[in-house]
């Protein structure tokens, strides 16, 4: 059986299951009956309570679990306000074909709002545009598609690279030798962050990139990859890292080998923040930023506003938070697991500004 045929069968099976019952293929989330009068019998004076679905390419990573929790908490608020009638989460388990089938099923089942965390920047465009053509409000967040016909909510990944690389260049006084820890080759987020970083490093010819390492965004493979690069370049003066687990892997390696602690850029991965806080008293310094989980809440709020007839921007770019030596204590959570992503909540007033309210 060819890979393409197998994917087609998987997609067909997933679509059939979804059409048979909304409960099938749903890994998380809940369904609540529409409030009396919310659908069908809704009064003309009040907006219809919405049927909302979220299709995500993955649900297992801790970042996704935190996003799910934040989204469900906001759904509960909107249900209490009579703005959302029901909500479902659909997990594509990394299969883009299955995600396409899920969105198609939501079109058939006449969802009012479809939220999407996309597994591909281009493959989902046709089905998402089909949903828009059917009158459904489609909002894509976090991992973005290229279609301009849907509302997109994200951060500037290129700026992520610029921000952290500039901090490292300044910290090194414009000269030194570094290891670059990037995500998997070909992944758009990794490519964009490195693109921004390269823009900065090209301004500093005296900063030598001794090794450009690609790794999964997981601690174990990242530690192995960094240890290998470091053994070949033990005189580095800094590390550019674009992911929290990658940063934790680099710092843990230096600590375990009792080596000099050089500046390492990072992300709001709690395991890294904990170690940073512990080693700060020894002079270790970093900067970190984040892909905030509340992108999901902004996406939902944008969909609700759009459904009520309010004009919202087609592209919403959320500012990148900055975690520094000075405000680290506001973010690190000593009592929470390493594999979590602490972030300060965004005030409703800031959400309103982003939505143009």
Q: What is the pLDDT of residues 329-341, one digit of tens each?
A: 999 999 999 999 9
pLDDT over 90 (residue 10) = no
How far apart, in whole angstroms, are the C-alpha atoms of residue 354 and residue 357? 8
What pLDDT digit, counting tens, does each position of 286-324 carry? 999 999 999 999 999 999 999 999 999 999 999 999 999
pTM of the model as a whole: 0.80
E strands, the chain, are: 28-30, 50-56, 84-91, 113-117, 137-141, 151-154, 176-182, 207-214, 238-241, 266-267, 288-289, 315-317
Confidence of residue 46 (pLDDT cuts 50, 70, 90): low
What pLDDT digit, counting tens, does each position of 119-148 carry? 888 999 999 999 999 999 999 999 899 999
């Amino acid at each position: 059986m060819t890979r393409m045929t197998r994917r087609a069968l998987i997609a067909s099976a997933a679509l059939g299951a979804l059409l048979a019952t909304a409960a099938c293929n749903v890994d998380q989330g809940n369904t609540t009956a529409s409030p009396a009068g919310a659908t069908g019998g809704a009064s003309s004076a009040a907006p219809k309570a919405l049927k909302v679905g979220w299709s995500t390419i993955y649900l297992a990573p801790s970042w996704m679990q935190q996003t799910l929790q934040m989204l469900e908490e906001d759904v509960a608020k909107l249900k209490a306000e009579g703005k959302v009638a029901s909500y479902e989460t659909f997990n594509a388990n990394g299969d883009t074909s299955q995600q396409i089938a899920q969105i198609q099923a939501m079109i058939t089942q006449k969802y009012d709002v479809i939220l999407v965390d996309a597994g591909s920047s281009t493959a989902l465009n046709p089905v998402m545009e089909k949903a828009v053509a059917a009158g459904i409000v489609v909002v894509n967040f976090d991992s973005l598609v290229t279609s301009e016909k849907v509302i997109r909510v994200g951060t500037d990944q290129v700026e992520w690279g610029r921000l952290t690389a500039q901090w490292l260049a300044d910290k090194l006084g414009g000269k030194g030798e570094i290891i670059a820890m990037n995500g998997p080759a070909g992944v758009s987020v990794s490519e964009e962050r490195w693109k921004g970083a390269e823009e900065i490093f090209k301004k500093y010819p005296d900063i030598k990139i001794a090794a450009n390492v690609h790794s999964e965004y997981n601690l174990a493979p990242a530690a192995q990859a960094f240890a290998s690069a470091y053994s070949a370049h033990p005189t580095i003066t800094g590390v550019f890292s674009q992911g929290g687990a990658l940063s934790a892997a680099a710092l843990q390696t230096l600590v375990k080998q009792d080596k000099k602690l050089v500046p390492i850029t990072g992300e709001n991965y709690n395991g890294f923040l904990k170690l940073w806080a512990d080693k700060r008293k020894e002079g270790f310094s970093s900067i970190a930023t984040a892909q905030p989980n509340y992108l999901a809440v902004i996406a939902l709020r944008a969909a609700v506003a759009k459904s009520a007839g309010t004009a919202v921007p087609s592209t919403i770019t959320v500012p990148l938070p900055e975690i520094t030596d000075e405000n680290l204590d506001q973010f690190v959570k000593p009592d929470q697991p390493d594999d979590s992503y602490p972030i300060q909540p965004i005030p409703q007033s800031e959400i309103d500004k982003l939505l143009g309210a």
